[in-house]
Structure 1
Amino acid sequence: MFLKYIKKLFVIVLIVVSIVILGGVGGVLISAYIPNMTSIPALKDFGVFKKLTERVTIINKTEQVVIREDDSVEKIASQPATAVVNIVVSTDDTKVVKTEATTMTGVLLTNDGLIATYSEIPFTGIGFRYEVLLFDGTSHRADFFGYDAFTNLLFLRLNDGTNTPSIAFANSDDARVGKKLIALGNSFAEYQNRLSVGILRNINHTFSLSGKTVSSSEKLEGVFEVDFDVSKDFIGGSVIGFNGEMVGLIGALTIDNVTHIFLIPSNVVRESLSRATEGTLSKRPMLGIYYLSLTKTLALKMNVPRDHGALIYSSSGKTGLALLADSSAMKAGLQVGDIIESMDGTEITPENPLSLLLSRHNSGDAIDLLILRGGEEKKVKVQL
């Protein structure tokens, strides 16, 4: 009797649980599908669907996610712009200043008034006077501090001990194509900053400041190219990233009647600054060759056996056009057609060109070169 009662109770409980489960599932199905079924013309007029949809509330909520970039160029450039200066150069024997020829943009690199600008003309300090206009409009006299023929950088220093702002250096080795940049220049008619925005378009490892289609062992090789249009008012000014740090200093060079605007990478500027403050700019070494930095493409084009290194080169094949007379290279027996593969064990590549490796030495140093000549490698010691 008791077992019969238990079985009956179990059946009742099972029936109740089943009803609850089926009801819940049904509710989910109704709430999910009934609203959509009412959109079917054949069903929307049935009363049951009308009643059910009256109790269904559909909430359409649109969320707008905005990713904001602080694109206020003026705000980003406001602090670095205080390190951009206007340089006016005159001579001691005349009071007439030719504005276009002697007015330049410069950058304050240190807080004690050390300035760098780009100039193919050395302005060595003999017979020249320098007047510098700071960001606040004040005028200061400056003295010649040094000229780096390797980078075409001219250094001046304020001579009144004024405490100045200075630009922050970025690590240019971290620069990548596509990086957003801001160029800072001057408007010389009325002192104020000019701004131009663009991107790093290319890292040109084989562009040389030699001013020729071949590279020089005594001139920087490897610059940044940018996509924004800058006038001569920007030359000597700085280019910063969106973090306000200087990525490079603007230079210009005319080759075969075409003017090229480029950036001297900030790490190169920093190294040149170190030499200027140490007084070793005059100790830059001289090897005395013109060469082509080999790449895979150039090696295939010229049918040479190496895709890296420095090929001592003259389009005419004449030694006198590739090696300077009485130079260290000529005295060491280097020849046109030699491929310099390495220096002191460091392989020469587009990222580590010959001139850059040489720039780390001083006049009087001895270097060991590994060259390829006539299919055979040989070591050559050179006294710089």
Structure 2
Amino acid sequence: MRFEDEQNLLNTENEEQRESTQEMEDLYPLEDGGNVENAFTILEPEKPPREKRRFNWKLGTTALISALIGGILSSYIFPVYVFGNLLPYPDNYFGKDVKQVINVESQDTTSLISAVAKKAMPSVVGITTETVQQDLFFGARKSQGVGTGVVVDHRGYILTNSHVVNNGSVERVNVVFHDGTNKEAKILWNDPSLDLAVIKVDGVNVTPADLGNSDNIEVGEAAIAIGNPLGMQFERTVTSGIISGLERSIEISANETIENLIQTDASINPGNSGGPLLNSKGEVIGINTAKIQSGEGLGFAIPINLAKPIVDQFIEKGEFSKVYLGIKGVNVDVFENATRTQLAEDKGVYVVEISKDSPAAKAGLTAGDVIVGINDQEIGSMSQLVRQLYQYRAGDKIDLKIVRNGEEKDLKVALEKVPENY
């Protein structure tokens, strides 16, 4: 296209644009005489200035308190009332990990101890003994001992420690009751391995103690001890504390250990031996023993459940019949140290000798076997074996678990009463 033609075309377009603009101005006249392009610009009306409002503190505070109360009602009080009174709690109401809630209630400790002492005191007795001892320089001479006991039956059966009656080797045993009555007693049974003994007094009105369940006691609960700590001059002294530990094992000598003891911080001294350890209900849960030399603040008691089968048999039959296996044995570690040999088992009772015609011999037990269990109870020592046998009576059959040449075996043993000449 030529230059002249291009120029004519451009002039024509400009003319058409001016005509269109004039038409718009005729239809929409501008008051301010502005250009027509400004007619297509929409201007927002100017907003009036906002009035500054003051905050109503009273209304705001009321609203905030109402919101808090509403939140508490909806999230705690209302659900607790509904689920606790009208509906049962859903299983997952408190979440997956439900923690035990322990309510601790304060109580008057002084009144508790006083009430327990008042209940148990009539059942606690003082025990004195006379023993004849041989002396190289002065010949035979008498020595006296003192201890405590607890009445366990209205017929005069009294439970105490074996060492209180010198393990049965005494000339005389004397008992002083709560009302001041003084009577001679006879020893019916004692076992140094348990440090328990039963003595009896006839012709005296006595008050038996309530026996508790030592399997149910817990560390931290109240413990009250009654005894004669420094002889009859301080008879029936009451000391208190808590249960400090359970299932304690104390080595008495190289070959003797007392196991499954109750530990308490109630003061227990020589003379307290044989006296009761009581719970908050005034029930006997243990028999105190001062045979164990311990540090200050440490006392020990034999669980009453260990003595219960013995006491029950005395109450039922008037006598106690001990069963036996018929073996001589030692702890595995003692045997290994003495012989410098290594056994297959770390714990148990090594059988050194079998008595002829004994229950062990009849069951096929042989020297060299290691006893590791009776029924479902593990046996780790000779003292533990002796204590376990006290739970059975003549005629009872037990499953004796042994290790023979590194192989475990089960033997059926029918227990028998200990022969008089055994």
TM-score for the superposition, normalised by structure 1: 0.62
Report Cα offsets for 1:84-110 as digits up to 9, x if no partner. Answer: 111223479xxx974xx3222111112
In structure 1, the residue matched to 2:322 is 283
Please tell me whether the aligned partners of residues 324 and 330 of structure 1 are also in contact (alpha carbons under 8 angstroms): no
> Hey, what's the Cα distance between the residues in 2 that align with 1:271 and 1:347?
17
In structure 2, the residue matched to 1:361 is 392
In structure 1, the residue matched to 2:94 is none
> Hey, what's the Cα distance between the residues in 2 that align with 1:130 and 1:230?
22
Measured at CA, do residues 200 and 359 of structure 1 come closer, stay the same or move farther in structure 2, by a change above 3 Å?
same
1:233: how far off? 1.7
1:170: how far off? 1.0
Report Cα offsets for 1:253-276 as digits up to 9, x if no partner. Answer: 4599xxx95211111222221233
In structure 1, the residue matched to 2:408 is 377
> Hey, what's the Cα distance between the residues in 2 that align with 1:241 and 1:127?
32
Measured at CA, do residues 123 and 205 of structure 1 come closer, stay the same or move farther in structure 2, by a change above 3 Å?
closer
TM-score for the superposition, normalised by structure 2: 0.57
Q: Which residue among 180, 190, 193 is the counterpart of 2:222?
A: 180
Q: Quick one: which amino acid aligns to residue 378 of structure 1?
A: K
Report Cα offsets for 1:265-323 as digits up to 9, x if no partner. Answer: 11122222123332453433244322369xxxxxxxx998778xx5225xxxxxxxx63
> Hey, what's the Cα distance between the residues in 2 that align with 1:347 and 1:151?
18
1:118: how far off? 0.7
Measured at CA, do residues 205 and 363 of structure 1 come closer, stay the same or move farther in structure 2, by a change above 3 Å?
farther
Please tell me whether the aligned partners of residues 348 and 354 of structure 1 are also in contact (alpha carbons under 8 angstroms): no
The structure whose Rg is larger is 2
Is the counterpart of residue 82 in structure 1 residue 122 in structure 2?
A: yes
1:192: how far off? 3.5
Please tell me whether the aligned partners of residues 105 and 185 of structure 1 are also in contact (alpha carbons under 8 angstroms): yes
Quick check: 174-183 or 124-133, which moved more?
124-133
Q: Which residue among 352, 362, 366 is the counterpart of 1:323?
A: 352
Measured at CA, do residues 29 and 183 of structure 1 come closer, stay the same or move farther in structure 2, by a change above 3 Å?
same
1:111: how far off? 2.6
> Hey, what's the Cα distance between the residues in 2 that align with 1:283 and 1:130?
23
Q: Which residue among 175, 179, 182 is the counterpart of 1:132?
A: 175
Measured at CA, do residues 184 and 255 of structure 1 come closer, stay the same or move farther in structure 2, by a change above 3 Å?
closer
1:127: how far off? 7.5
Q: Which residue among 202, 212, 219 is the counterpart of 2:245?
A: 202
Measured at CA, do residues 97 and 71 of structure 1 come closer, stay the same or move farther in structure 2, by a change above 3 Å?
farther
In structure 1, the residue matched to 2:274 is 236
Report Cα offsets for 1:100-143 as digits up to 9, x if no partner. Answer: x322211111233321111236568898443322223x223233
In structure 1, the residue matched to 2:98 is none
1:339: how far off? 4.2
Higher RCO, 1 vs 2 (CA within 8 Å, ≥6 residues apart): 1
Report Cα offsets for 1:35-83 as digits up to 9, x if no partner. Answer: xxxxxxxxxxxxxxxxxxxxxxxxxxxxxxx953121123332211221
C-alpha RMSD of the superposition: 4.2
Measured at CA, do residues 245 and 71 of structure 1 come closer, stay the same or move farther in structure 2, by a change above 3 Å?
same
Question: How many equivalent residue pairs?
Answer: 295
Stretches of structure 2 that go unaligned for 5 or more consecutive residues are: 1-55, 67-103, 133-140, 334-340, 416-422
